[in-house]
Chains A and B, each alone.
Chain A
């Protein structure tokens, strides 16, 4: 293919994304995405549990800053991600096609992904108003309940939807001020890695989103059991053993968010309750008096 052209195209090295940097997996391992005809599309980092631990450290470090960012700014940053993705739409379409998605469906997946980001960008300064409450307690106190991000959220992105499934899961998590470590689709990991580059160019602070690629079977347990992760999100009934995830999550009473059965292209895949799923409710009391 290259031989017929005057210059050699430069192939991309797909790496993982931790703390705003693109390292290779510390394990030095890889797996191959092939084009179905025996050709190699890319060697993908086969991330390790150590990579995951490093990513959690980066996510924890980023949490105070990101959760303290104003809702307006978080909204603008999500909007910025959408802008960047729009500008690179052709690249993502091409990557999806490389991974076996039809051109027409790939185009739609990219379009919906961009719109999904816009959707959640718009929620950034509104979900709080929908879900908060001032509580009319009987005693002379001012009492209110509002949402705060749960903390570090691990996300096992769906395997069948390399871009849209990825975007649909991280957007509600980060718009709410959480930081996250995401395991990309195992069969279609290219878009997740390229999306990390989009995030990197979108004023998303380092460590807010960390992206690993690798074998689901090897990493799921750690995503569910890590003691400094506050919530785990999973999407595939088959790839992710729900019972096993919940058992492991119990070690530190992690919140377990079940997204199994979601049609990512549907309007039902987006709503503010998905933001609320990785939020805590904090109630504050103060006396009313002299």
Chain B
């Protein structure tokens, strides 16, 4: 296990040095989006309209955070299941997204698109929402406020921890991990 630091947004060069099983610490700017926001962005892409955020080089974190208490930046903010976003992810990668953060396996189509468009899929610990919230220094709604927890938020993160599941070379930690430890 290698620990690597990433500054978001990301570049193709960042992608090349990341391998399945690496632990990463992300600092910089990332965006949140989950089911409803993906659906809305997809409708815009299909009709050729501009998206509320520029996707080039961006990291998308699948999270619907809990509300912040007064004085807090954000409430608990752990990952949601990524598979539900599989329908939308190849199109977002095609439009320049470099990394996705969530939990759980991705479809063959997503894994293929990660290779084709040089992207990575990262997992962070599901069920550690309070801990992960501490790595978020600022949060601001930038689109779809009517969606509540599903609105798109711009987050400033510092040392946000994640593990590389699918790298841009076609490997998959969920498959490899299972093989390594099965008895």
A binds B: no
* A residues lining the B interface (CB < 8 Å): none
* B residues lining the A interface (CB < 8 Å): none
